[in-house]
Chains A and B, each alone.
Chain A
Amino acid sequence: MRPSPRWLVALPLLLAFALGGCADDGGSGGGVQSVKLSTIRGRDKLVCGVDGKLPGFSFLGPDGTYSGLDADTCRAVAAAVLGDPAKVEYRDLNSSERFAALASGEVDMLARNTTLTLSRDSAGGNGISFGPTTFYDGQGVMVPVASGVQSLKDLDGKPICVESGTTTELNLADRMREQSIDYTPLKFQTGDQTYAAYLGGRCVAVTSDRSQLAAKRSSFPKPDEHTLLPVVMSKEPLTPASINGDPAWADALRWTVYALFQAEELGITQANVAAKVAEAEANTNQADLRRFLGVEGDFGKQLGLPADFVPKTIAAVGNYGEMFERNVGTGSPLKLERAENRLWTEGGLIYSPPFR
């Protein structure tokens, strides 16, 4: 329920740029220079932009804590940078607010089921720096079972609900134009309003990322009365992001997420990470493991992070596989298959470059 604070987005943005100092003008020299990293350390808190209303990704529970894959990504980064996963301040952002919040420095990073696209990444577009994709998704369409809609063709002439300011909105227009299907897009500013209009029967269908549809359906009063059409309308790689212009901070974010992937590949879990560190310390011949866990070498220092950022991260949230299972996997209310989100060794797309 926000009346119209977005009016104000432009003003601080302008002010920030007009008053913004020149602190980073001469940022050069030895070691890792990152304004963002020192800001985060200075305030001893990571400000992380999340959705906040999407079960499985970032959801504010009744006990006042956030849970989900995106929330865990924030925790992992806080553990890597500050050594404590609890030092996160979450900021709920809707689709339209997220990039302005990132650009104005209101949040340090986004872990807000955001699709990586060219125009968002490029300096001439939104100018955002994306990390590694944490969830490979695709756009789907949900309809009430009773409507009898089987394919996109059946939606001819009908209203479809969509959240404004998303890639979903554009993909919908593209797919419908391709198949010359006439439809009415009903756009709402927040997910809550979009799904309320759908449940209110204003639209015959609602479209979004398939994971989001599954997540929202799990919170419907009668989830069984709604079904996902067997169409995938687009590629939606959901990716954490930071702002362009601070490469050291972007690298820290990137390699923290890669560490989660690498840990799963090496079989390091939240439960055994302490034992693995002890093992690495004892065996000088396990060079790979020693470097990864920061027992030898200076990977942490190169990134501007503590030497033991990897074991801290794994101890905080577990490896990627554990995060997935806990939040969106078959053991969670969402019951999503790993599918594309398996490790590359198992035929999936989750792949970490070497820690070397």
Chain B
Amino acid sequence: MSRSLERIPWWRDRRVLPWIVQGVVGLTLLLVIALLLGNLVRNLTAAGLLLSWRWLGQPASFDVAESLVPFDASMPYWRALLVGLVNSLRAILVGLVGATLLGTAMGMASFSGNGLLRRLARGYVEVIRNIPLLLQLLFWYFVVFLALPNGTAAFQLPGIVLSKSGLYLAWFSQGFSWQGPELVNEVWRAPLRLSVEFSALLTGLITYTGAFVAEVVRGGIASVPKGQWEAATSLGLHWSASMRSVVLPQALRVIVPGLNSQYISLAKNSSLAVAVGYVDLYSVSETTLNQTGRALEVFLLLLGSYLIIDLLISAVMNGVNQLVQIRER
């Protein structure tokens, strides 16, 4: 009786021991982190590289090729970085839409009754998926787009000109006057212009990510039981109608989570823009880094920006995922 009431010593007490172990591990971890941080600050100070953000306000004194935000060389670095960020976002957003459309079409085509279409879709996925994106970008830019004719030899349709320097479109300019592309001093000018750099990047990103999206879509559609197809067909629905109204809504539950990671990799891959001369966030950061020498600050900004972009994409996709899940009634 007295034995069972005897207090258990703490070194054998299973209620205490885990806390002690956790405490020791936690404390050691904190100490190591503190040591590393202290070392970091001390060495950075010694090397004169301690974080400083004043350079953001200095004039950038470099130009950028294209920008949605007004920019010139006398504006500060933060403005240049903003230009890069906006350019990156532009490529990412258009790329997301394009890759989704192309990928969905190709994923659906791999279930088509038309053998040629089915094989084309399979071929596209297998070829594009297995070639590094950087090579594809260089191919689109240097081989395809730079082979376009220039000046008066450019492809011309009413309101549209496609030349080596870009795609020029007619649009309203200065109020409501409709303005078409025109050749001034051997250079095309138009109210709306997509540079070849942007076009090459976009083509590369869309075809590359499209292949992965196609696979996700194909997997999603394949996950829908065959009976659903047969039920739809027995109701007299055509292939496209059964796909649209019966199969796709169910497939979306499988597709959406898979799309999330493809979208995130598209956003990250957009930083390869620098290879084809498009001024994205990474390109501007690189110039900034070289002019200011603030490597750590610039990279922290870069890492932070891409992290936020990717987390935003994830958040939106999680929202979409909630929408397409089965709602119990």
Contacts and interface: CB of A to CB of B under 8 A. Distances in A.
B184 interface: yes
A147 B8 CA distance: 94
B287 A187 contact: yes
A19 B36 CA distance: 7
A10 interface: yes
Contact of A17 (B40, B66, B187, B287): B40
Interface in B277-296: 277, 279, 283, 286-287, 289-293, 295-296
Nearest to A166: B290
Contacts of A185: 62-65
A170 B165 contact: no
A10 B287 contact: no
Contact of A4 (B61, B150, B271, B295): B271
Nearest to A10: B299
Contacts of A174: 61, 73
Interface in A83-132: 95-96, 99-100, 103, 119-120, 123-127
Contacts of B37: 18
B290 A173 contact: no
Interface string A175-206: 01100000111111100010011001110000
A182 to B, nearest CB: 10
A186 B197 contact: yes
Interface stretch (B18-26, B41-49, B202-210, B259-267): B41-49
A201 B134 contact: no
A173 B277 contact: no
Contact of B295 (A103, A123, A244): A103
A157 B185 contact: yes
Interface residues of A, number: 54
Contacts of A3: 132, 134, 272
A297 B48 CA distance: 37
B65 A189 contact: no
A95 B299 contact: no
B279 A187 contact: yes
Contacts of B28: none
A99 B187 contact: no
Contacts of B36: 18-19
A119 B73 CA distance: 18
Interface in B132-167: 132, 134-135, 142, 146-147, 150, 164-165
A172 B74 CA distance: 14
Given A18-B36, A103-B295, A196 B286 contact: no
A174 B60 CA distance: 11
Nearest to B293: A126
Contact of B277 (A19, A99, A119, A197): A197
Interface residues of B, number: 53
B142 A10 contact: no
A14 B62 contact: no
Contact of A10 (B46, B47, B64, B303): B303
A333 interface: no
Contact of A200 (B61, B146, B296): B146
A14 B208 CA distance: 33
A41 B43 CA distance: 24
B293 A184 contact: no
A159 interface: yes
A18 B150 CA distance: 53
Interface string A127-162: 100000000000000000000000000001111000
B275 interface: yes
A17 B39 contact: yes
B248 interface: no
A119 B293 contact: yes
A201 B164 contact: yes
A174 B74 CA distance: 10
A20 interface: yes
A13 interface: yes
A177 B73 contact: yes
B248 to A, nearest CB: 35
A189 B274 contact: yes
Contacts of A200: 142, 146-147
A13 B296 contact: yes
Contact of B293 (A10, A96, A120, A202): A120
A6 B271 CA distance: 11
Contact of A13 (B39, B272, B283, B295): B295
Given A120-B293, A186-B277, A193-B277, A157 B187 contact: yes
B203 to A, nearest CB: 16
A164 B27 CA distance: 46
Contacts of A157: 184-185, 187
B190 interface: no
Contacts of A278: none
Contacts of A103: 47, 49, 295
> Which of B44, B72, B295: most chain A CB closer than 10 A?
B295
Given A9-B295, A95-B290, A165-B289, A188 B146 contact: no
B295 A17 contact: no
Nearest to B135: A1
> Which of B146, B196, B291: most chain A CB closer than 10 A?
B291
A10 B285 CA distance: 13
27 contacts: A6-B286, A9-B295, A9-B299, A10-B296, A10-B300, A13-B295, A17-B47, A99-B293, A103-B47, A119-B292, A119-B293, A120-B293, A156-B185, A157-B184, A164-B290, A165-B287, A170-B61, A170-B62, A172-B63, A176-B63, A185-B62, A189-B283, A196-B142, A197-B277, A200-B142, A202-B277, A245-B47
Interface of A: 1, 3-4, 6-7, 9-10, 13-14, 17-20, 95-96, 99-100, 103, 119-120, 123-127, 156-159, 164-166, 169-170, 172-174, 176-177, 183-189, 193, 196-197, 200-202, 244-245
Interface of B: 36-37, 39-40, 43-44, 46-49, 61-66, 72-74, 132, 134-135, 142, 146-147, 150, 164-165, 184-187, 196-197, 271-272, 274-275, 277, 279, 283, 286-287, 289-293, 295-296, 299-300, 303
